[in-house]
Amino acid sequence: MGDMPAPYVIRGSVFLPEAELMWRFSRSSGPGGQHVNTSDSQVELRFDLARTEALPPVWKERALERLAGRLVDGVVTVRASEHRSQWRNRETAAVRLASLLAEATAPPPKPRRPTRIPRGINERRLREKKQRSEVKRGRTGRGWT
């Protein structure tokens, strides 16, 4: 089967560096018969975000800040165990890590510029509100005795 297929793109020309990925394999939990007791199909992928040189400094800073809750000593960990084959779990974990880093390094959104509501629209809304309240007030049985 060979080694990992294509490098996993984070964004643009930045890739997950294969040399900096730490893999750990263990037995998956859950059903699976006799096979599950003998095969290490669960994958744990660790990436040292604090010490990596693969990310531009600005991205790295941003990622460290945004993933602060997920980091243990500057290392981000991703687990995958949904497939029965270790190979597919490796793929899933690598893709998951790449998308996590892509999200964490994305530039912040542009600030929203508040827009003014045109006076005509506001007046129409108030007029319709008043009409509606008149209709509802007319439904009370006060003058019906």
Q: What is the pLDDT of residue 34?
A: 65
2: left (phi over 0), alpha (psi -120 to 50) or beta: left
Q: What is the pLDDT of residue 55?
A: 80
How confident is the prediction for the chain on average, in pLDDT?
A: 81
Q: What is the pLDDT of residues 11-57, one digit of tens each?
A: 777 777 777 788 888 877 766 666 666 677 788 888 888 887 778 88
Average pLDDT over residues 47-75: 82
Q: What is the pTM of this model?
A: 0.64
Name the β-bridge partners of 11. 14
pLDDT of residue 127 exceeding 90: yes
Q: What is the pLDDT of residue 132?
A: 95
Average pLDDT over residues 107-127: 92
Q: What is the rounded distance in angstroms from the CA atom of residue 129 to the CA atom of residue 145?
A: 28
